[in-house]
Chains A and B, each alone.
Chain A
Amino acid sequence: MQILEIEGLNSGYGKVDVLLNISFTMKVGQCFGIVGPNGVGKSTLLQTIAGAIKPKSGSIKLLGNEISGKNPEDIVRSGLALVPEGRQIFSGLTVMENLQLGLTGRVDKKTSHQAVEQVAELFPVITTHSKQQAGLLSGGQQQQLAIARALITDPKVLLLDEPSLGLAPNIINDLFSNLSRILEAGTTLLIVEQRANLITKFADEILVMRDGLIQARLNKIDAQDENKLKEAYFGAGVKK
């Protein structure tokens, strides 16, 4: 069953076009990774899907419903949440207040309490540091909070922008083990990740972006073939 369908998506900032005719589809429970050099439009793609940037043209469908051009606050209520690059937690608010903000975008308010318990089970920082100012958490804890905050909106599709950015290797392992559990629970994941070796092992498919285009779509086996990945990443003519 298709959960996310993107067709001919063009987006950018003012007169600058960043995304050019992006098209791909995802099925329920899949995990896609997006890799590519800096500045090719990976984050712009996630932000456009999440509604933070209005697309110039094209279609974005979530469970068959058009969400392209909708406000971000409506898109999150439709079941799609974004964990932004750099985590963007509210450093002046407490951990629990950050989580309460996530509940704002949750449609089913009756199960809010259970939802808090569920995310706290996955991310213990929610209970151990609930009253602490979020800006005082370590980088790994802040990332846990950022994912928990998005997860509590009850998304069917979760977008993550550079989740491993600035984290120590052991913290990254914990992070991806938590993402595995989220995936097993049936949430579809779309992850932008600079660490290609990490995401190629984790995702079902890899979209390689360059110059605002999806240059290649690699399955798990091809993505782990270093030469194929390099060729897609840097273009033809890469020395083997």
Chain B
Amino acid sequence: MIQTILNALSLGGTYALASLGLGLVFGVMRLVNFAYSELITIAAYTLVMTSQMPIIVGFLLSVVVTSIAAVLMELLVYRRLRGVAPAIMLVASFGLSKLLQQVYELCFGALPRSASIAPWMSGELKFSGVSITNTSLITALLTIVLLLVMRFLLNKTSFGIQLKAASADFRTARLLGVRANHLITLSFAMSGVLAAFVGAILVVGNPQVEPMFGMNMTILALVGIVIGGISSLPGSALGGFIVGVILSLLNTWLGNGRVYSYSWLFAVVFIILLVRPGGLLSKGQEMERV
């Protein structure tokens, strides 16, 4: 039971990080960045390619590579399209995602690349008869720490206040002096950092990296953003967490029927959206007097 709860928390935390990474960019640009998937993938590839190095070095390299890739995405593609219709941005993000998958295929091949990353994490800890895998424990702790850091950044720093304001109303935020280019670039960089953490957590659990490695996580993280409240950063994290927890619990409880876990997940999502169409923490639900 404890293992089940820990797995659920760990997967929920991972999805929360992924949803937050997507939500950061959506908040300031109203862009659903499908190419976020390829940021997770490049983080995983970097870890696989540096598997001979100490894990901390590989991980730091992965953070640097992924955040640079995220910033380049913004500078080379999205900045040039800024101001165009949202549908064009959406198609561009699809296109970029596909293009990067092809690039990965050219560079690393279509077959999965694998390596043993942090083999010590596959061990188990035993507490009074209950065994917990190191991966679950470390992932749960890591995501809790990261979510607390993100909470601090968003609530206690000037950057966080600017980001929340820009998510609510970018136009007014700019009229007050919030620098659009700086904020968007920083959001992409932070989104890249979060993608690196997500990629690392995923690759430790499944060190088989192929060009579409991050796709599943990204699609479900998007679902998380929608059920959390599309313009709310805490909502994004909460939505992602809920998706991860539900998926993990379904995988455990359904046993052999786990092939249907996505169907059940989307049934739950459907019910949540029927009850709260704007998402759990949508703006329309905020207490507002005027």
Contact = CB atoms under 8 A, between A and B. Distances in A.
A52 B83 CA distance: 13
Interface stretch (A25-33, A133-141, A191-199, A209-217): A133-141
Contacts of B288: 91, 135-136
Interface string A105-117: 1100000000000
Taking chain B's interface residues, is the majority helix, strand, or loop, or is none over half, making it mixed? helix
Contact of A73 (B161, B169, B177, B287): B177
A92 B178 contact: no
Interface in A131-175: 133, 135-139, 142, 149-150, 153, 166
Contact of B162 (A76, A104, A139): A104
A219 B175 CA distance: 30
Contacts, number: 86
B163 to A, nearest CB: 11
Given A135-B286, A135-B290, A106 B177 contact: yes
Interface stretch (A58-66, A94-102, A120-128, A180-188): A94-102
Interface residues of A, number: 34
Nearest to A153: B177
Contact of A72 (B162, B168, B175, B283): B175
A149 B172 CA distance: 11
A64 B109 CA distance: 60
A100 B158 contact: yes
Nearest to B290: A139
Interface string B181-197: 00000000000000000
A139 B162 CA distance: 23
Interface string A47-88: 000111000000000000000000111001100011010001
Contact of A135 (B164, B171, B174, B287): B287
A104 B176 contact: yes
B179 interface: yes
A221 interface: no
A93 interface: yes
B121 interface: no
A233 to B, nearest CB: 29
Contacts of B180: 71, 73
Contact of A104 (B168, B171, B178, B286): B178
Which residue of A71, A105, A138, A139 has the most chain B CB atoms within 10 A of its CB atom? A105
A90 interface: yes
Nearest to B171: A52
Interface of A: 50-52, 71-73, 76-77, 81-82, 84, 88, 90-93, 97, 100-102, 104-106, 133, 135-139, 142, 149-150, 153, 166
18 contacts: A72-B175, A73-B174, A76-B177, A77-B177, A81-B175, A90-B164, A91-B168, A92-B168, A93-B164, A101-B162, A101-B173, A105-B177, A135-B287, A135-B288, A135-B290, A136-B288, A136-B289, A149-B176
In the A-B complex, list the 6 residue pairs whose CB atoms are closest, starting with the nearest.
A105-B177, A135-B288, A104-B177, A88-B172, A72-B174, A76-B177
